[in-house]
Structure 1
Amino acid sequence: MRYTKWGGKGHWRFPAEALGNDEFGWWYGSRAGTPLRRGAEEPVIVWHDFVVLVPAAGRWIASWNSVENTEVEVYVDVTDRPVRTSERIEAVDLDLDVVRFRDGSVRLLDEDEFEEHQVLYGYPAEEIAQALATADELMAMVAERREPFGRVGDAWLAGFIAGG
């Protein structure tokens, strides 16, 4: 999994194993101990299992976290349209993140970063509008637990945990 910022600046990258696909897209899993690396920084080790959905349609990538060491149940990055090849997944991170916490609350994160980067990176007007529309749609879907943010993501996570 490789994320960049607008203009190709390196962002987060991490290994993930292909798990399968369904009507919502392609599912990947990463185990506790997975190193996440941002640009040239030292890696950050994730101490919980998680699964990732690259949607068949949409401009986002979502992660479901196991309960160990995290208050975040679901984390969705607003991106450009992800590109999936046999070797990797690539997407441009457009800053906005939709998060559902274990207590059920849902928040939109990094609006300030999104505003700052519109100027710094020169986001085109159509990308700004698309990112905001995507964030609005995701806020509703995640809060209302519309699939895949209901039982589907939880089932993929449970299956991944059980298989390991």
Structure 2
Amino acid sequence: MSAQQPADQDFSPVLPTEPGTLVGSRMSKWDGTPHWRFDAVYLGTDEHGVWLGYRPGTHFSRPGREYRTKSPGLLVFGDVGWVADIYRDHPRGARLYIDLTTVPQWRAMPDAGTPDAGPVFEVTAVDMDLDVLAYEPGTERARTRGESFIDDEDEFAEHTARYGYPPDVVARVRADADALLAAVRAGEPPYDDTTAKHWFAVLDDLAIS
């Protein structure tokens, strides 16, 4: 399995098209252990990927931990190996959190359209441990940890040994993390304020309608 290509080269993704459509995000680790799971709404698609949004009170869970969000957020699923979570009014001053992953894969749920069926679409990916984080300048965490950095290097090294990540996957994830950190520090889209404001406006309009 590569961090950059779907396991099935003939995989043909089925993506939502209607803003407001409920999407279940179901992440896992390399060995299949469930990781973060939550539901969000489809906002749209642009050159950066597929955008989802969630509102305050959204339930996030993984084995051993769960919480409800206190602020809204955006998610952009790139067509390569990363998923970015962009925050607004985060209580700890977080600005964004990028998960390095395998290529996100999309599918329509077979029971979509039936009562209480849940999400109409599902997106899955394998979390590859490394994360790129950014905090708002001047916040306590920015002063103590830095405004932007790569996190979970120790977990990546541990899981590389435990799960036997292929060398090409290790090299690709490492290179992608470095490239994403550089893009965040340079304020390149979609990590700029203008892009985030646009998609938050879409989310806000859906909440009002």
TM (norm. structure 1) is 0.92
Aligned counterpart for 1:54 among listed residues 77, 93, 99 = 77
AA at the equivalent of 2:198: A
AA at the equivalent of 1:72: A
- Aligned pair 1:157/2:200, yes or no? yes
CA RMSD, 1 decimal: 1.5
Q: Secondary structure at the match of 1:142?
A: helix
CA distance in 2, matches of 1:37, 1:25: 24
AA at the equivalent of 2:43: L
Deviation digits for residues 31-57 of structure 1 (CA, Å, limit 9, x no counterpart):
110111103x353111111010011x3
Q: What residue in structure 1 maps to residue 17 of structure 2?
A: none
Aligned counterpart for 2:185 among listed residues 114, 139, 143 = 143
Deviation at 1:122, TM superposition (A): 1.5
Q: Secondary structure at the match of 1:123?
A: coil
Higher Rg of the two aligned structures = 2
Report runs of 4+ in structure 1 exceeding 4 Å deviation: none
Q: What residue in structure 2 maps to residue 90 of structure 1?
A: 124
Query: Which runs of 5 or more residues in structure 1 are unaligned?
Result: none
C-alpha spacing 1:12/1:118, structure 2 compared with 1 (3 Å): same
Query: Which runs of 5 or more residues in structure 2 are unaligned?
Result: 1-24, 109-120
C-alpha spacing 1:99/1:154, structure 2 compared with 1 (3 Å): farther
Identity %: 33
AA at the equivalent of 1:131: V
Contact 2:96 2:135 in 1 (8 A): yes
Q: What residue in structure 2 maps to residue 124 of structure 1?
A: 166
Q: What residue in structure 2 maps to residue 102 of structure 1?
A: 136
Q: What residue in structure 2 maps to residue 2 of structure 1?
A: 26
